[in-house]
Amino acid sequence: KDNLLSVSNLKVYYFTSGGIVKAVDDVSFSLKRGEILGLAGESGSGKSTLGYALMRLVPPPGKIVKGSIKFMGEELTSMSEEEFRKRIRWKGISMIFQGAMNSLNPVMKIGDQIAEVFKLHLGLSKEEGVKRARELLKTVGLDPEKVNAYPHELSGGMKQRVVIAMALALNPPLVIADEPTTALDVVVQAQILNLLKTLQREKNMSMIIISHDLSLLAEISDYLAIMYAGKIVEYGSSDTIYKSPSHPYTIGLLDSIPSLSSEKTELKGIPGEPPDLINPPPGCRFHPRCPFAMDICRKEEPPMTKLENGHIVFCWLAVKR
Ligand code: ATP
Ligand code: SF4
Ligand code: MG
């Protein structure tokens, strides 16, 4: 199978008055058609920024400063904005933004909001758009009559289904879902994840699902990428990462117990805070929190080590010397 998406050496920095925030710093990974990649990491590790970069919607003062994003054989970083808007954004790659269900327009009916997407991208009339919206609502498990509802008349789970419907409207081969279940209760979380998985299978879509909840991601993803302080520190099949994690940070994440009600990840296994991304620690960025840190970890960045079955880790412990 060919890669649908290949990201190489991607760097996305925010140029703030306080300094350069290296939010995504030399990230590489690829994704094949029909695969689900879970992207896990603590708050501030650069997960959303990576998603924005794939949509070329990094908010100022952020910028893609280096690297390549190849999608269906085309380089996206150098494509003109007009091309990108016409062919890629929403049609090729769409994104369910973090917290999007709370930014639906409160004074506009659901059907009309979905119809806007069809009008903007396919030039459909409002009538045709609302007709398509009804079908879409069915696809995401909602009553088509909800086209006439306003956002405040829907539950959180229903609103998230609407947001998913909008991301799927143009049948993109790749959907990025940024914290799609955060702020929903556990039962609804499971329903939304099942919905995403079902839709992904039916349409043979690829998905990148972003979450701070690694156990949740492991259930739904084929592959997992673990992000720490702007870098992917470990990558592999879900099974491998879950059963035999190699990076001390991943091991800590798996030991940690995220509390069900709060959005914050409480790391039982890893004391300390993620670093400042303006002046990240030298060497391995995880060294100040790592129980296994050695001298070399404080000085030199760990190189990539390939373990079996495409399992990749960036840690000095994995380097055979
Ligand atoms: P969360 O789990 O909280 O959503 P995240 O992994 O999605 O976190 P990002 O939102 O991508 O992390 O942020 C990565 C880094 O970039 C953080 O240090 C953050 O403070 C910084 N950052 C994000 N947006 C901006 C911005 N608009 N301006 C400056 N810095 C930013
Ligand atoms: Fe810990 Fe060193 Fe591995 Fe970093 S490279 S995770 S500090 S052992
Ligand atoms: Mg985020």
85 in any annotated domain: yes
CB atoms inside a 10 Å sphere around CB 114:
22
With a 6 Å cutoff on the Cβ, whether 204 touches ligand 1 is: no
148 in any annotated domain: no
- Which positions of the chain have pLDDT values less than 50? 259-262, 267
Instruction: Tell me the C-alpha distance between 165 and 86, whole Å.
Output: 20
285 in any annotated domain: yes
pLDDT attached to residue 270: 83
159 in any annotated domain: no
123 in any annotated domain: no
Question: Where residue 45 sits, what CATH number does that domain have?
Answer: 3.40.50.300
Mutation probe of ligand 1 site: the residue of 20, 45, 63 with most atoms within 8 A of C-beta? 45
Structural domain including 23 reads 3-92+170-318
Domains held by the chain: number: 1
Atom of ligand 1 nearest to the CA of 48: 7
185 in any annotated domain: yes
Q: Quick one: 296 exposed, middle or buried, by C-beta within 10 A (0-12, 13-18, 19+)? A: middle
259 in any annotated domain: yes
For residue 97, how far is its CA from the centre of ligand 1 (angstroms)?
13
145 in any annotated domain: no
For residue 46, how far is its CA from the centre of ligand 1 (angstroms)?
6
With a 6 Å cutoff on the Cβ, whether 290 touches ligand 1 is: no
